[in-house]
Amino acid sequence: MKIPFLRILGVCFLALNWVSCPKSSAQPYLWQVADYATGKEEISALGDSIFYLSKELFTLNLKGETFIFQSSLFQPCYRSKKLEIKPLNESFFAGKSGIYWQLFETKKPKEPRVDKFLNLTLWNGQVLAQKTEGYVLIPETGEEIVCDSIQVCANQLMLYRKDGILVLDSLFAGHFYKTTGSRRRFNDPDFTYLLDDSLWIPLDGSGKTLNHKPGAFWWNDTCVLDTSASEVWLQSPGKSRSRIGDSLICISSRQLWIKNGKHSFLLFSNGRKVPVKPHTERKPICDSLCALRFPTSWVLISQNGNRYPMKPSITSIGEKTANWFLVKSGKRWGCADHNGIIRISCRYDSLLPASQGLMAAKIGQVWGFLDQYEKIRIQPNFQSVQAFKDSVSLVCQEGKWGLINLEGNPALPCTFDRITQSRYDKWILEKGSWKGIANIKGKILLNTRYSDIIEPNLDLIWVTRNEKAGLFNQKGRAIVPLEFSQIVIDQPHQKFVFR
């Protein structure tokens, strides 16, 4: 039974990921549509390109002419020889003629809107347009928002206007901050703050509600105020403001070092102030513990005020590893606990933070693995190693790379020139100029016989060889044969389009 052309085509191209091999041709292409799960071909069509603008609206480009169809391939609702089409969302698509873009409504595609824009893009699925002067946010529902300039963040969109700043989160919940003065910024590890005259405004992308305090920036659950970096004030919830110092250094999101005249102290997130003497270096160990380097030794200071001096031979403090942290004595590394007691002696040339109960240790020029009792679990036979992840470690032996398991047995033999981790937790294997792929446990899915391998999404593996492309699923089974020059992946509608 044949499947009607328009019904099949109508569910294929809403969101497209283009993956192609370079190849030029003046002739139209024969495009084929296949099912995402099975790879079974469903339809073919002739044209330069074809894709959907909405669930019921698609465009066909053929020999330099653009056709937009709504319900019938033989009755286009829009036709142009000069129009460049760009899909946006279900409500709008864009058309470019000359240097300007215009918006089309997918429900009324015959005529564009009057306004012209220099650029059109999307932020969280909504249209953000740049005009010759300023910007405009055009949501699918609701009123348009006009502003002078914008700042795009991962979870926020800040729209600057003459009368203030409108901050929108990813759910489009907004808060307006009225401003009249100059714009200065302050950043700490967690938040961004905007200074308007004497007011630090916290702009938080986590959805947390922040109150406004005159002259303040927020740190943790307290409010530390720094006016022109000359005075530091503390305001805890429900308490009055009090001056606590002249200057501060933010050690972490849980620890501050504050100087007050000739004296200084550590301020922890629980509000505890611990006086400290002059020191040369500060290291956060965990939320409740900080290490300070004094002239004679390092000292661990807890949020309860307890002090744990370390041996004078300890010259450096490294990364946290499980419940311990790395320490260095002379040229050798070891581990200490949160009381400053050495748990793994400083006799190793290098150490990596522990993972899955094992710590990589370098002895001379080779690497092995220790447990928490400093017993060698995997013999030092490797030139290079990585910490264990998902029960395997990437290792190098005699210039070749492979994987070992927690017992030290090969999960993937050391026979590859290079192994790198892919975007979706697989291993890209290389031998010479050929590539293959293995799963996270080291099981080979595709042997090293391809020019390139890419994972466009979690479900697919895209491969090329001799300027041809094909698709495999995550189990290594062929979905689209290795015989096409271009592949379009429409993940929302579970379709492939290839030529």
Least confidently predicted of 157-161, 275-279, 303-307: 157-161
Report the candidate in 473, 472, 476, 499 with the shortest Cα–Cα distance to residue 487: 499
**Average pLDDT of the segment spanning 207-217:** 50
To the nearest whole number, what is the mean pLDDT of the chain?
80
Residues 6+ apart with CB under 8 A from 104: 78, 92, 93, 94, 95, 111, 112, 113
Report the candidate in 335, 346, 338 with the shortest Cα–Cα distance to residue 372: 335
> Does residue 17 register a pLDDT over 70?
no
Structure tokens at 430: 């290389």
- Amino acid 217 reads F
Report the candidate in 318, 366, 314, 319 with the shortest Cα–Cα distance to residue 345: 314
What are the pLDDT digits (tens) for 426-470? 999 999 999 999 999 999 999 999 999 988 887 888 899 998 988
Q: What is the DSSP string of 183-228?
A: EEEEE-SS-EEEEETTEEEEE-TTS-----EETEEEETTEEEEEET
> Does residue 23 register a pLDDT over 50?
no
pTM: 0.69
Q: For CA atoms 115, 117, 120, 125, give the dihedral sign.
A: negative
DSSP label of 5: H
Number of CB atoms found within 10 A of residue 187's CB: 10
Percent of residues, the chain, with pLDDT higher than 90: 35
What pLDDT sits at residue 55? 67
Structure tokens at 419: 């192994």
